[in-house]
Structure 1
Amino acid sequence: MSQKLKNGVRSAGALVAFVAIGLALMLALGPVLQPKSNTAEAGMINASSNAFTGEAPDTIDAVFIGDSETYTSLSPMEMWKTHGLATYNCSTSGQTLPYCSTFLDRVLKTQHPKVVFLEANALFRRFSYEKVVARAVNDAFPALEHHDRWKQLTWEDFVIDSNHTWTDSLKGFKMRFVHKAPNQAKIAENEALHPLKTNIPARNLAILESMNERCKEHGAQLVVVATPSIINWNEERQATMEKVSAETGIPFLNMNDGEHKVDIDWNCESYDGGDHVNYAGALKVSEMMADVLVNQYGLQDHRGDAAYDSFANALPEYEALVEKKQPTALD
């Protein structure tokens, strides 16, 4: 073997050893850097959206995964109050499909929902392959996602396991009580300058199909839902989703048109001029969703069942926040 080849082998070996040591360190540091509880104060990212980890196993019958369209439209506690349904809203601002996929995996670790709803808006949102890789790496090595926590580490982080006991009284819902009527001229101008993407990229479809397979493996039905919006929805997106639904067999629930249309008064039931609904609009959307969950998917009324005390105990706090018209802080 020539000296040059020997040097190359040594360099390759050193690189492999370096990478192996790095991976071992990340695996070892993962449990240390992970928050020891599931609160924002402990360092949990998107704490309220992840607070389903504090719920008792197998007590959530339906989950909603998506972006701000979802967390402002669907109130699990309202559905509990009116129908006794145990649901959770696992949505975050601008949530991309890779993060949607992560939330699905997290939910399926402790819950066996009958139905998983994915917000259609996320299917049209673009993201790079680098985002996919970054999300996969963060999922595999939690130390990377929580690397900033090294500043807060105490001796307890090295000896105590994570214990997720906090539950969110709104179950991931975000309330807004102000109202703002749409400015049709500005909406038209913005649409002309920044037209909505109406096709779904191949990589998005691949993640959708992967999520569908995982739902099937866990006995859940994946459903794509389009919550009401006059800014983020149009006939072209509807046609695209109907085609995708027909091709994949994944049901599509459209709340903007047709049988399940929710009649939103956009002059007083939106907080930002037609993109997201406010609390009054969310009541209507949640009522329609509850009707679908009961009549199409057979979800049961769990009021009076001690296993669902987390929901029963959260109701007074939810009602108090509504009474005070207290908007939900974003995490």
Structure 2
Amino acid sequence: MSVKNMGGEKIKRKKYISYLIYPVIFFLILYFLQRLFVPKYMGRVVEGNFTEEYYQEISPHDVLILGDCEAYENISPITLWKNYGITSYIRGNASQLLSQSYYLLRDSLKTETPKLVILSIAAMQYPAQTNESYNRMVLDGMRWSMDKIMAYRASAMEGEHFLDYLFPLFRFHSRWKELEADDFRYFFQKKRVSHNGYYLRADVRPLVEFPRERRIIDYNFDPVCMEYLDKIRKLCEEKGISLMLIKAPSLYPSWYEEWDRQVRDYALQHKLHYLNAIECIPEIGLDFQHDSYDGGLHMNVYGAEKLSDFLGKDLIKNYALPDHRGEEVLQKIWAEKVEYYKKARDEQEREFSEYGYLKQFSDEP
């Protein structure tokens, strides 16, 4: 081969290499920008991490709990383990719709089949999403699959675009003006913020007076909510999983008798166990002067532990759930979870005792 031909071959190879390298560099830049601009949810709002933290689990669960804040702020899987040896996880998020709970359940069943699904039915009153940020917190952390696509289609608001979920950089590119230290600190890896899906709060804000209960025109649940309740029930039946319905003992917003009657009728019709914990507040031992962190809307860790202990007794009574505390492998896994939980609780208690509030969740300097 002549020197001239050899030179031509080198030029061609360089061109081919450049055709490969430049696109790779371009997509790497886009990837790093996306990692930087997407919210990290490590400040006051941590719920945006709940969905993706589930995928870090290395052992299956006998109980999966689905729902909105009435699930993830009021039930402590660590307490269920410590007191009863029940393994559980909460797949919940802020304002999580029933449609989203359904697709998160489908997502979970790809890797595990629990003995029991507990569904918080507070979301029966919300057929559609009211804020894009709630959709983002539920869906952004969900692994890509047809279930994520269908979850988006079921809950997308007017003005939301699928491409913004496929490529979050399109949605968050303007955050370059709002970048904070956390965006760089947690660029590669974020710390765990939940305890098997539970949102721990050890601060105390006593019960306040709520607005008077408002009458509404139509107390019937929206057909969309009934549709996804049916889908969750049928999916559980198909997989041989027991389904339990629960209403957390939250004092506000109002849970109308007309709503409760519909849930009871549905549970009776389909032979489901329904626990309305509002009716059990004295038996649970809740004191909303001490057991809430936001004036009675949600329970703090003290209230959640009381409810979880009460729930554990109910689960042992109504379902054949095994006590795993004597199993060496699970004991080791959950010992680490208990230690992490205790450390977080102790740190919050110390901080609240010193300042009267929790810095991470407060506007105080």
What is the TM-score when the length of structure 2 is the normalising length?
A: 0.65
- The 10-residue stretch of structure 1 (142-151 or 200-209) with the greater mean CA deviation from structure 2: 142-151
**Offset of residue 243 of structure 1:** 1.7
Alpha-carbon deviation of 1:224?
1.2
| Candidates 199, 208, 221, aligned match of 1:174 | 199
Distance 1:177 1:234, change over 3 A: farther
Please, which of 280, 303, 312 is the counterpart of residue 335 of structure 2?
312
Instruction: In structure 1, give the amino acid aligned to 2:207.
Output: P
Alignment of 1:148 with 2:162, yes or no, is no
Whichever residue aligns with residue 270 of structure 1, its letter is: S
- AA aligned to 2:68 is D
2:105 aligned partner:
104
Change (3 A) 1:196 1:149: farther
Q: Tell me which residue corresponds to 2:211.
A: 187
Query: Structure 2 unaligned runs (5+)?
Result: 1-26, 130-134, 136-146, 155-160, 174-190, 350-357
TM superposition shift of 1:312? 2.2
Question: 1:257-315 deviations in whole A, cap 9, x for unaligned?
Answer: 15995332122212222221111111111101111222211212222424424322211
Q: Which residue of 2 aligns with 1:55?
A: 57
Name the residue aligned to 1:227. 248
Q: Which amino acid aligns with 1:145?
A: Y
Does 2:273 correspond to 1:251? yes
Q: 1:139 to 1:293 in 2, by over 3 A?
A: farther
> Amino acid of the residue matched to residue 235 of structure 2?
R
CA contact (8 A) 2:127 2:224 kept: no
Whether the 8 Å CA contact 1:228–1:262 is kept in 2: the answer is no
2:136 matches 1:136: no
User: Is 1:75 matched up with 2:95?
Assistant: no
SS in structure 1 of the partner of residue 265 of structure 2 = helix
RMSD of the TM alignment (CA)?
A: 3.9
In structure 2, the partner of 1:217 is 238
Does the alignment pair 1:279 with 2:281?
no
Matched, 1:93 2:94: yes
Alpha carbons 2:103, 2:151 under 8 Å: kept: no
Measured at CA, do residues 218 and 73 of structure 1 come closer, stay the same or move farther in structure 2, by a change above 3 Å?
same
Aligned residues: 278
Residue 119 (structure 1) shift = 0.7
Contact 2:61 2:89 in 1 (8 A): yes
User: Displacement, 1:328?
Assistant: 11
Cα deviation per residue 1:122-165 (whole Å; 9 max; x = unaligned)?
A: 1121317xx9x99626479997524115799xxxxxxxxxxxxx
What is the TM-score normalised by the length of structure 1? Answer: 0.71
Q: Check if 1:239 corresponds to 2:261.
A: yes
2:202 corresponds to which letter in structure 1? Answer: F
Q: Distance in 2 between matches of 1:239 and 1:328?
A: 42
Give the Cα separation in 1 of the matches to 2:218 and 2:79: 32
Q: Which moved more, 1:212-221 or 1:235-244?
A: 235-244
Structure 2 residue identity aligned to 1:299: L
1:291 counterpart residue number: 313
2:243–2:272: 8 Å Cα contact kept in structure 1?
Answer: yes
CA distance in 2, matches of 1:82, 1:126: 36
CA distance in 2, matches of 1:122, 1:63: 17
Q: What SS is found at the alignment partner of 2:307? A: helix
Q: Corresponding residue for 1:64?
A: 65
Shift of 1:90: 1.0
**Structure 1 residue 105: Cα displacement:** 0.9
Alignment partner, residue 160 of structure 1: none
2:195 aligned counterpart, secondary structure: coil
| Structure whose CA Rg is larger | 2
Whether the aligned pair in 2 keeps the contact of 1:262 and 1:285 (CA below 8 Å) is yes
Q: Which runs of 5+ in 1 are unaligned?
A: 1-28, 153-165
One-letter identity of the residue aligned with 1:323: D
**CA pair 195-282 structure 1, distance change in 2 beyond 3 A:** farther
Kept in 2: contact 1:124–1:198 (CA 8 A): no
